[in-house]
Amino acid sequence: MTTHGTIRTGIGGWVFDAWNESFYPPKLAKTKHLHYAGSQLRAIEVNGTYYGSQKPATFAKWAADVPDGFVFSLKASRYCTNRKVLAEAEPSITKFLNQGITELGDRLGPILWQFMPTKKFEPDDFAAFLALLPDEQDGIKLRHVVEARHESFCTPDFIELLAKHNVAAVCADHDTYPMVADVTSDFVYARLQQGSDDVPTCYPPDEIDLWAERLKTYAAGSAPSDLDLIAPDRNVEKQPRDVFAFFITGGKVNAPKGAMTLQQKV
């Protein structure tokens, strides 16, 4: 029997007015939205941490509102990544990691370091940035994933750097951003961004089936054969990998339904 990693599908945040009609039960108090989302989904990507710090008590409350096995992916502060010289980001990285994120405990999922679409790949500077990302915080293991959205990152040098530091790359299903389908870490992170509000499941059923097979392939330790790799000649160890997939941006109204449908398929 083939051993697989854990596959978690989810959405971006849990506050969105349209979800009062398309996702949350009628008249459910907003204070109970996270608890309900946690009962229906397996992961949430938090965008608010990109714009500002939170209090330790806030992270602790989030953790208490969701069940065992649920995780939060946190988008790192913009002050860490939106800079000309990434090698100088250490103070901002330290501030972000020390705001109390470990209050999430085992609910702490990958940390997403997202770069502006205009940020180009500069190998030495990017290597210096990756070297600043710690393996753990307050005794809790950290998992890092980067979303590079400029085509200059489509080079084997970028893939090798990520693999050296055990950092994942976002596998972005996006109209213009490059898709990095290469496996560079012990987990895989996909952001599905081409959904439609006109589709009840965000993505059409056939595309959800397609992504379900891709996620299962990743979880079993391989890379999907239908996705092009930037560094196809790399020798990647086949081992079970945890997989995260978030319905983000496109089709946000029905993103929860998309995530639930995809979770059922995997």
Q: What percent of the chain has pLDDT over 70?
A: 99
pLDDT exceeds cutoff 50 at 143: yes
pLDDT digits (tens, 9 = 90+) for 37-58: 999 999 999 999 999 999 999 9
pLDDT of residue 3: 63
Q: What percent of the chain has pLDDT over 90?
A: 97
Contacts of 111 (CB under 8 A, 6+ apart): 73, 74, 75, 76, 101, 142, 143, 144, 145
pLDDT digits (tens, 9 = 90+) for 97-135: 999 999 999 999 999 999 999 999 999 999 999 999 999
pLDDT exceeds cutoff 80 at 226: yes
* φ/ψ (deg, to 5) at 224: -60, 135
- Annotate 96-148 with DSSP letters as a single string: HHTSSGGGGGGGEEEEEEE--TTPPP-HHHHHHHHHTS-SEETTEE--EEEE-
pLDDT digits (tens, 9 = 90+) for 162-193: 999 999 999 999 999 999 999 999 999 999 99
pLDDT mean over 11-38:
96
pLDDT of residue 4: 81
Output the CA torsion 14→17→21→22 (10° steps). -50
pLDDT of residue 1: 38
pTM of the model: 0.96
How is the chain split into domains, by residue range? 7-265
Would you state the CATH architecture of domain 7-265?
Alpha-Beta Barrel (3.20)
- What is the spatial distance between Cα 261 and Cα 259, in angstroms, rounded to a whole number? 5
Average model confidence (pLDDT) across the chain: 96
